A and B are shown apart, each in its own frame.
Chain A
Amino acid sequence: MGWKRIKAALPPGRYYFSGNEAAAEGAIAAGCRFYAGYPITPSSEIMERMAHRLDQIGGVFVQMEDELSSISAVIGASWAGAKAITATSGPGFSLMMENIGYAAFTETPCVIVDIQRAGPATGQATRVGSGDIMQAKWGSHGDYQVIALSPWSVQEMYDQTIQAFNFAERYRVPTFLLGDEAIGHLRESLDIKPWVRVFDRKKAKGRPPFEAKSPRQIPPMPAFGEGESILVTGSTHDGLGIRRTDDPEVHARLVKRLNDKILLNQEDIIETEEFFLDDATVAALCYGFTARSTLTAVKELRGEGHKVGLIRLRTLWPFAHKELRQLNQGVKKILVPEMNRGQVAGETMKSSRCEVVSFCQTDGEIIRPEVIQKELMRLL
């Protein structure tokens, strides 16, 4: 229970992996022993590698009949004590939404990898997009919080999958790895370190599983089969899990606590990375694959003497509003290039003190460095 250091599942060293393979290895390294999923491009390699690896190490793999049942089986396994994961892409992510809300409301740790493709609908099934950012936050009905991470490299597909499990277990919350087709299918070096720091959900026999002493605290979570007669329900419930659907106070307290437990701990969750921001007057705000193109563009412009910088969001949800407010006062304009119609640009406008310019590209192609360079030049 709690933090511990365990040996990496693969021998330490340098590997040459795709992002999707790295996510599967990150899950295994984090102690995940349950996968349920349904095939979908461009995420299927995660499922294929999990089938192979879980068989090797004695975990459970099941290919379900659809994404509705995949996320359901993941939640069922989590309550049976598993660190559990599924992977999908846009259409499957849409189908999972009802039970993602169920997982948030029942405080079920689980990890969902969404390898985003160009939507809406079937869209361009094999092409890249990042149109699921707002869906990840708001996709299920009602008010709840999730954690969503945004990897930009094969290394981060591995590292952030481990981190996603740690957040899921620590905060008892569905946690997303919001990758995209370009990162999922990119092949590059991956360094596996000998040790992995993992968090295992806390247990406390006899303690209510849905009640915490303070809004920042996370209740302990028993597992089925431990003799605790657990009552889990997606209806409004008290600390013991007993349905209290007509009590306004119980509902208000529960919804607030589920939001507070993430928002009051957001300083421990949110991570950003800054490049050349000290004297920058124009900054790009990026995440996922687009941050790679942008860093190339920013370095090119710096080489020409322009005062441009980059802030990269490693965490998308909860959103880095506080970090944006604390941004160097010299930054007058922020460019947000993204492979959707301005989802993160809109969120950025809520807290940014300077002008926010959205650059959208939704053609199923990555945004190239020269395109971003041109857009940054217009703002200089």
Chain B
Amino acid sequence: MARAMEDYLRPGIPTTPFCPGCGHGILLGLILRSIHALGIDIREMLFVSGIGCAAWIPSPHFKADTLHTTHGRAIAFATGAKLYNPRLRVMVISGDGDLSSIGGNHLIHAARRDIDLKVVCANNMIYGMTGGQVAATTPVGSTTSTTPLGSTERPFDLCRLVEGAGGRYVARHAVTQPLALIESIKKSLSFTGFTFIEVLSPCPTQFGSKNLLESAPKMMEWLMENCVPREEAEGLSPEELEGKIITGEWSDVAVSTG
């Protein structure tokens, strides 16, 4: 299986740029495994990304058409390519800051248009590449390089945001939930219309180091302890759910991956 993934990688690109313990490498592998499982020829796909760590997942690593755009505009570039050539299978892979902050307007409008884009948002809850500044997704109270006393603004619930804008297939998983995540990516690729998958991906370098989770295993443990699948969450009290992240699917359509 590991060797089989080499067919999906661009030759001559030696290593990924991700820090030790970053979740983006796991996500990279899980996206390729989903494509492999569906038997899709990756060369028929277009991957569009913006600016930030997550934008490097497809570009330059995937052996497919890749469009690495300006900060925030990945969905808008993808909209143009998809509308002109509907035969392209277009996946947008970028970070939380890129897609929901500087590019937030394009995210909600693409969901409203229900344009056939597969958006995968790697959410590390911080601006990693630029040095660990607070993001629109940073949990309240977190220390970042621009909130030395702890962040005070409430973070976006990205799935509810996209669902509210009209997104018909919306899901959230952590990279610590690989099987559920693969299933969701497969579903999104099998679905015609706008899909959004938020992937919680740890950033030990910037988020962990400032919030007493400095080692990669600690961040993974934190995700495993705090991510609660939707079905389990239904049986828990509001007190028990305090500070937890609910994962799962929010979709009004049945999607078959067969």
Chain B interface SS verdict (over half):
mixed
Which residue of B is nearest A227, CB measured?
B43
Asked if A135 is an interface residue, CB under 8 A from chain B, the answer is no
A80 to B88, CA, bound (A): 9
- The answer to whether B105 and A80 have CB atoms under 8 Å apart is no
Among B63, B76, B85, which residue has its beta carbon within 8 angstroms of that of A80?
Answer: B85
Instruction: List B residues 40-82 near A (Cβ within 8 Å).
Output: 43-44, 46, 48, 59-60, 63-70, 72-73, 75-82
CB neighbours (8 Å) of A69 from chain B are: 73, 75-76, 79, 105-106, 109
Tier of interface size on chain B: 35 or more
Instruction: List A residues 139-160 near B (Cβ within 8 Å).
Output: none
CB neighbours (8 Å) of A287 from chain B are: none
- The answer to whether B68 and A234 have CB atoms under 8 Å apart is yes
A70-78, A257-265, A293-301, A321-329 - interface stretch: A70-78
- The answer to whether B68 and A77 have CB atoms under 8 Å apart is no
A102 to B12, CA, bound (A): 25
A27 to B176, CA, bound (A): 51
Distance from B81 Cβ to chain A, minimum over Cβ atoms (Å): 4
Distance from B69 Cβ to chain A, minimum over Cβ atoms (Å): 7
- The answer to whether A76 and B81 have CB atoms under 8 Å apart is yes
A232 to B105, CA, bound (A): 23
A96 to B133, CA, bound (A): 26
Asked if A60 is an interface residue, CB under 8 A from chain B, the answer is yes
A60 to B255, CA, bound (A): 29
- The answer to whether B73 and A80 have CB atoms under 8 Å apart is no
- The answer to whether A76 and B77 have CB atoms under 8 Å apart is yes
- The answer to whether A72 and B76 have CB atoms under 8 Å apart is yes
Distance from B9 Cβ to chain A, minimum over Cβ atoms (Å): 11
Among B59, B68, B85, which residue has its beta carbon within 8 angstroms of that of A224?
Answer: B85
- The answer to whether A230 and B79 have CB atoms under 8 Å apart is no
Asked if A279 is an interface residue, CB under 8 A from chain B, the answer is no
Q: A80-B85, A225-B87 are in contact. Are A73 and B76 (CB under 8 A)?
A: yes
CB neighbours (8 Å) of B77 from chain A are: 72-73, 75-76
- The answer to whether A74 and B65 have CB atoms under 8 Å apart is no
A60 to B77, CA, bound (A): 14
Tier of interface size on chain A: 35 or more
Asked if B13 is an interface residue, CB under 8 A from chain A, the answer is yes
- The answer to whether B60 and A73 have CB atoms under 8 Å apart is no
Distance from B35 Cβ to chain A, minimum over Cβ atoms (Å): 14
Which residue of A is nearest B12, CB measured?
A242
- The answer to whether B70 and A231 have CB atoms under 8 Å apart is no
CB neighbours (8 Å) of A98 from chain B are: 70
CB neighbours (8 Å) of A242 from chain B are: 12-13, 60
- The answer to whether B81 and A80 have CB atoms under 8 Å apart is yes
CB neighbours (8 Å) of B109 from chain A are: 64-65, 69
- The answer to whether A79 and B81 have CB atoms under 8 Å apart is yes
Among B68, B76, B80, which residue has its beta carbon within 8 angstroms of that of A232?
Answer: B68
CB neighbours (8 Å) of B70 from chain A are: 72, 98-99, 102, 234
- The answer to whether A62 and B83 have CB atoms under 8 Å apart is yes
Q: A76-B78, A229-B43, A234-B68 are in contact. Are A99 and B83 (CB under 8 A)?
A: no
CB neighbours (8 Å) of B46 from chain A are: 80, 224-225
Mask, B93-129, CB within 8 Å of A = 1, is 0000000000001100100000000000000000000
Asked if B10 is an interface residue, CB under 8 A from chain A, the answer is yes
Among B48, B63, B75, B76, which residue has its beta carbon within 8 angstroms of that of A229?
Answer: B63
CB neighbours (8 Å) of B84 from chain A are: 33-34, 60, 76-77, 80-82, 84
- The answer to whether B81 and A224 have CB atoms under 8 Å apart is yes
Asked if A228 is an interface residue, CB under 8 A from chain B, the answer is yes
Instruction: List B residues 210-235 near A (Cβ within 8 Å).
Output: none
Distance from A241 Cβ to chain B, minimum over Cβ atoms (Å): 8
- The answer to whether A225 and B65 have CB atoms under 8 Å apart is yes
- Interface residues of chain B, those whose CB is within 8 Å of chain A, are 10, 12-13, 43-44, 46, 48, 59-60, 63-70, 72-73, 75-85, 87-88, 105-106, 109
- Interface residues of chain A, those whose CB is within 8 Å of chain B, are 33-34, 36, 60, 62, 64-66, 68-70, 72-82, 84, 98-99, 102, 223-225, 227-235, 241-243
Task: Name 24 A/B residue pairs within 8 A (Cβ), A-sorted.
Answer: A34-B83, A62-B79, A65-B106, A68-B73, A70-B76, A72-B69, A72-B106, A76-B78, A76-B80, A76-B82, A80-B80, A80-B81, A80-B82, A82-B84, A98-B70, A99-B70, A99-B73, A224-B65, A227-B43, A229-B64, A229-B65, A230-B66, A231-B66, A232-B66
